[in-house]
Structure 1
């Protein structure tokens, strides 16, 4: 059998501060409903998801405040850059996420926006709890110590 030309996973946007500001409990891959000009704009790679979050409205999960800039070649059919976008999840996943958010006070944070092997836009969504200032300092100390430990080990031999 001939192998298909599989495309590698192409990460378009990443929320790098999320792992520092939040303690991540669980991750879920969700599809994202985009219009044609949004897909083209996302493929250009100018998307930011750093200030965005996911929220439940009417039994569905929506991505709020994600910035997908307008596609320059589109004319009057362009999209609104910060409009809410529907996330595509199974009903069981939605119920699980909504339950954790409502009962345990957790937050839904996007970690990555990428195109999978089939060329579909996907969002890696994290169920997370916000860190306090002392937790952030502790994380920074651990990171610094691991760097220092690596330097010492290289210096010794």
Structure 2
């Protein structure tokens, strides 16, 4: 009977030990047995892959940011061109108005010169008429 109890006790201890390994894996995230060379290599590969994934994600984010920056620069260039176009159009309009005013001034001066010439002719005609009237009393 004592032998049976000892065997039963040893079986219970072995069962507890076999239960402790999965529990420690769950709690601590690592095996309770020492890692072998293959496990270490796999862990290193996983770390390398994780780092490469982070680098790729960073590169994607950088690429997206560069694209956004390029879009903003293109918008700024377009806005700058639109502002320059508006300024040039405004200058052109002002020059056209100035040209039209200069034409009007030239026409007015020409009309004034014609009017002055006509007045001079009329004054001369008036003088001739006065002289003709004065020399011919009848």
State the TM-score bracket (shorter-chain normalisation): under 0.3
Bigger-Rg structure (1/2):
2
TM-score in terms of structure 1 length: 0.22
TM-score after normalising by structure 2: 0.25
Higher strand share: 1
